[in-house]
Chains A and B, each alone.
Chain A
Amino acid sequence: MPTELLVAGGFYTFAVLAILGSIALILSRVIFRSALSLTLVLASVAGAYVVLGADFLAVVQILVYVGAIMVLIIFGIMLTPQQVVLETARDPGKAVAGVAVAAAVFVVTTGVLLGSTWPRSNPTPVDMPTTAILGEGLLTTFGLPFELASILLLLAMIGAIVIAREE
């Protein structure tokens, strides 16, 4: 019972942190601070993974999202100093359009979320290392999607090299 309490407490702590981070992310006018908030969100999601027993996923989340993607985003921000602070939109028409689009997205997303049934997974936690199961799954049951994703990434990489090459 106390363990369940700890798990629930941990999960909701990270959930609240992620939500607070998201709010800070959209409210900040300094892009760099938004990027830091995004880091908090991604790290909190990793924390939630830990609490839910998906340790491999959590570590990879940190390694890929915080270690690589966030660094690239911040790198990009630092290379564009003139856009570091966002200007307030003075045009009321733009504000109205923005609110309308945001409201539409909100309504549709909420509708989908409320309309979906959320199947509860088998709550027995996996006792053995999740890496072994993940590895087996990737190379047997999900072999084709795994290879397709690899080819997609390879294509993206070649594309990036071709675009970045000056000729």
Chain B
Amino acid sequence: MTGLGCPADLPICNPFQYLHQLVAAILGAILPEPILTILVTALSIGMVTTLVAIIVMSQVWAERRVVGFMQGRLGPNRVGPAGLLQSVADAVKLLAKEIIIPYQADRGPFLLAPLLVLVPSLIVWSVIPWGPGLSVTDLNVGVLFVLAMGAFPTIGILTAGWSSGNKYAVLGGMRAAAQLISYEIPMVLIVMVPVIIAGSMSLGGIVQAQSVAWFVFFLPVGPIALLLFLIAGIAEVNRSPFDLPEAESEIVAGFHTEYSGMAFALFFLAEYANTFAVSAMATVLFFGGWTGPVLPPFLWFFIKAYVVFLALVWVRATLPRMRYDQLMRVAWKVALPVALLTVGATAAEVSLRAMAA
């Protein structure tokens, strides 16, 4: 299954199938079928993980450059052309640094925490479709799966905060937990809007349901739902203006105060992987995913996702950090009621349209 403008025999348009054929051609004679399937799945996961790592590097560069320009300065521009290799240099630097474990820290959980944060952020990418049939797996509960994996890193952040043996880390962890729990509820509700319109919880199904019109144009609920989704999404990935768990002017660096070297880099990686997951989910749920004319589907997907990401960067460069009570008030007194009403209105509108048709 391929989309418009992308011939099926081109490896880049159909990478998973191509990978399967390649592995089957090389190892098919030696290995039995189930092991072959497991191997191909593992390789697909490796492929997607590598892709996410590359995306994160591009994002870090883009964010620093764009914020730099928005603030009337240049941003990184020394390493490589236009500073493109800055992220690579940073990654190498972080890899070479020592991981310091504080004397007061609880060793096991301290080292486990970055993985608890990063792994779910990567698992999310197994269901996000960047083209027709282009996801490691298309679950029929895909939307809920993404939400569930989005809830998992909270445990990791709390673990990081608690096991560091540092009061600022504990405070950051607590803030993160309270924030994530509060915004999880409007998030789950608002994601139900595209699900109700599409009549499917599979991400592939939701994209296909938008081949006629994007859900953001499903008036009047579409734009409201998108706005709430982005607000809740920014809060869930702890980005500015909701970055209170790592507010440097109050609690040093929050839950990752005591982390250094690659352990810190894993938190960083997870944060950007999550940010791009929010952009990708907004693309899939509201902007028609990979659908689009002329260009190959995966290009459309990445173009849309990067546009949403740039909007998030814009928000970050524009708004100051919120105060804690403001954050909570928005969650419980604005986002939650509006989300509930929007879901109700969507259900009413969908059934009215069905009756009219």
Contact = CB atoms under 8 A, between A and B. Distances in A.
SS class, residues of chain B in contact with chain A: helix
A63 B144 contact: yes
Given A33-B108, A68-B184, A62 B151 contact: yes
Contacts of B34: 2-3, 5-6
A3 B33 CA distance: 10
Interface in A1-42: 2-3, 5-6, 30, 32-33, 36, 39
Nearest to B154: A71
Contact of B155 (A2, A30, A74, A130): A74
Contacts of B139: 55
B109 A33 contact: yes
Nearest to B159: A36
How many B residues touch the partner, as a band?
Answer: 35 or more
A63 B191 CA distance: 14
A32 B151 contact: no
Contacts of A2: 32-34
B112 A56 contact: no
B145 interface: yes
Interface stretch (B97-105, B170-178, B288-296): B170-178
How many A residues touch the partner, as a band?
Answer: 20 to 34
B148 A55 contact: no
A75 interface: yes
A33 B108 CA distance: 9
Nearest to B139: A55
A100 interface: no
B334 interface: no
A59 B144 contact: yes
B184 to A, nearest CB: 6
Given A33-B108, A74-B162, A78-B170, A62 B140 contact: no
Given A71-B180, A74-B155, A59 B170 contact: no
B222 to A, nearest CB: 23
B141 A74 contact: no
B173 A78 contact: yes
B282 interface: no
Interface string B25-57: 000000011100000000000000000000000
Contacts of B173: 78
B161 interface: yes
Interface string B130-154: 0000000001110011011101101
A129 interface: yes
Instruction: Pick from B149, B151, B202 the residue with the most CB of A within 10 Å.
Output: B151
A67 interface: yes
B349 interface: no
A103 interface: no
Instruction: Pick from A3, A6, A55, A60 the residue with the most CB of B within 10 Å.
Output: A55
B201 interface: yes
B158 interface: yes
A101 interface: no
A71 B140 contact: no
B158 A63 contact: no
A70 interface: yes
B264 to A, nearest CB: 21
A56 B144 contact: yes
A105 interface: no
B155 A71 contact: yes
19 contacts: A3-B34, A5-B34, A32-B109, A32-B162, A39-B155, A55-B139, A60-B148, A62-B149, A66-B151, A66-B152, A66-B155, A67-B184, A68-B151, A71-B177, A75-B177, A77-B162, A78-B162, A78-B173, A130-B140
Interface of B: 32-34, 106, 108-109, 112, 139-141, 144-145, 147-149, 151-152, 154-155, 158-159, 161-163, 170, 173-174, 177-178, 180-181, 184, 188, 201-202
Given A3-B34, A36-B112, A131-B140, 8 more contacts: A30-B106, A33-B106, A59-B141, A59-B148, A60-B148, A62-B151, A62-B152, A129-B201
